Structure 1
Amino acid sequence: MLEIEIVNNINTYLECKGIHFSNELRMGVGIPDISLNIGATRYLKPMDDYFLLSILEFVNKKHCTSFHEIKNEFLITLDKVKQYVVILAKMSFVKVKNDIVRAIKNIFSAKLGTTISIEAKLKDWRGACLQAQRYLCFSDYAYIAMPSNYIKNIEQRLFVESGIGILSVEGNKVEEILSARKSDSCEFTLKYLITSKIIEKSVEMGKKHLRKNIFTPLCLT
């Protein structure tokens, strides 16, 4: 079995269960093989620029601010500030008059559901565990996925300590061997970025009925 086969088998499982997912989304600290979301609103506005989202967060916290305040906060030029603010205005997140920027929509009340990242490996479970731990800054849960015949070689104690879950994959059968622990370091801004990317890349999945799956218990906690 190849790593791509593990990924494809999990993809098939997720498709059958009506779960939104995407492959290899770049998130700065890492690129999960699979990122999935359960429960986020399908009308989440896509945003893939961390800096833009950070500026929006600043405006939301201030409620009303100016171009110069944004410039001083983020140490960028006024021209750059105007470019970002224009984008936010077009997305109906802010209203601009002269150089005053007012928040009109609180993006941080958006329903993001549960986001899960998965790292697939054939044998290197230690490396997979380390990579999965990086995903906890933008995911609620993180797992590694390995062939079922190799699971017995994993030292589960390290996964229990780090909160990383373990999935066994054999054909289209995906089984949870060890449940993941919810991240206490997941940052809303980063979670919004990856969730909006997942929703944007799997719009057609919204037409499918979500069925009970191995991740269902995580969405109830």
Structure 2
Amino acid sequence: MFITERQLVETLKGNFKIICDWNIKKTQTNILEEVNLGFGIADLVISKINKHKSIETSWSYFDILIYKIIETDQNVSMDLLKSITKAKESQIRKSLEMLMLECYVNHHDSIFRIKKSYKSISDKTIAIEAKLKNWARALDQAYRYKWFATQSYVVLDSNYISPAYKNIEKFIELNVGLAEINPEGLLKIHFKPTEEKPIDDKMFMLLNEQIKQTLFRQQIISPSI
């Protein structure tokens, strides 16, 4: 039995591999802790990393918003961007300059269009809500993580898994995974969720930007785990 949720999370960090549907010995895998994108704070987000070049530039949520507006319309003026975002022109221009410098956006006759599509650094992201025993609250929080993650899990202390397991149909209905872990690190999955497209593409992109920042700082979980 774990004394604190922090102990549970630390144990899970070293014993998460069966949650992943990729070979972490051969594929670069990144872990972010306490990820807050406005839908609660995910204890862990585990990501499969695609081949990438180290890039220092990181997009803000506003940069992503500007990109998505242009991507959706494909014929966007400055007036339209100001009307939708309600932001100052100087702030919009700052984002546009970055997007044009990185060749994502071009402009002609004061109209902005997408030049190349955003490429995510990870297309497989697993968000985890770790709890000692409050499965109902954990399920509610884990469901919110589906806004930005392709899979979401609740991981509970093995000592308190029984009530959650008795309600496993709720996890199945919401497509949220259920697993238990003990202090020795034994992780057991009771329901493995189907991978889904995140509900909000902007939040998925923002998560990818956080991952990109982490990788640039070389805070990478070794594939040899």
Contact 2:29 2:221 survives alignment (8 Å): no
Q: What is the match of residue 3 of structure 1?
A: 5
State yes or no: 1:194 paired with 2:207: yes
Task: Decide whether aligned partners of structure 1 residues 140 and 148 sit closer, same or farther in structure 2, where only a CA change above 3 A counts.
Answer: same
Return the offset for 1:96.
4.8
How far apart are residue 185 of structure 1 and its match? Answer: 5.4
Q: Which residue of 2 aligns with 1:214?
A: none
Percent identity of equivalent pairs: 20
Contact 1:48 1:193 in 2 (8 A): yes
TM-score, scaled relative to structure 1:
0.80
Q: Structure 2 CA distance, aligned partners of 1:52 and 1:101? A: 14
In 2, are the aligned partners of 1:36 and 1:198 still within 8 Å (CA)? no
Contact 2:156 2:181 (8 Å CA) reproduced: yes
1:12 matched to 2:14: yes
Within 5 Å, give how 1:34-183 maps onto structure 2. Answer: 34-43=44-53, 47=58, 49-96=60-107, 99-107=110-118, 110=120, 112-154=122-164, 155-170=167-182, 171-183=184-196
Specify the code of the residue in structure 1 equivalent to 2:191: L
TM-score, normalised via structure 2 length: 0.79
Structure 2 SS opposite 1:180? coil
Deviations 1:183-207 (A, max 9, x none): 4652222112113312432454668
Q: Which runs of 5+ in 2 are unaligned?
A: 18-23
Q: 1:61 to 1:158 in 2, by over 3 A?
A: closer
Unaligned stretches of 5+ residues in structure 1? 212-221
- Decide whether aligned partners of structure 1 residues 210 and 40 sit closer, same or farther in structure 2, where only a CA change above 3 A counts: farther
Residue by residue over 1:58-105, the C-alpha shift from the partner in whole angstroms, topping out at 9 and shown as x without a partner, is 222343432222112322232222122123233332235674434222
Query: Structure 1 residue 130: deviation in Å?
Result: 0.5
Number of matched pairs: 210
More helix by share: 1
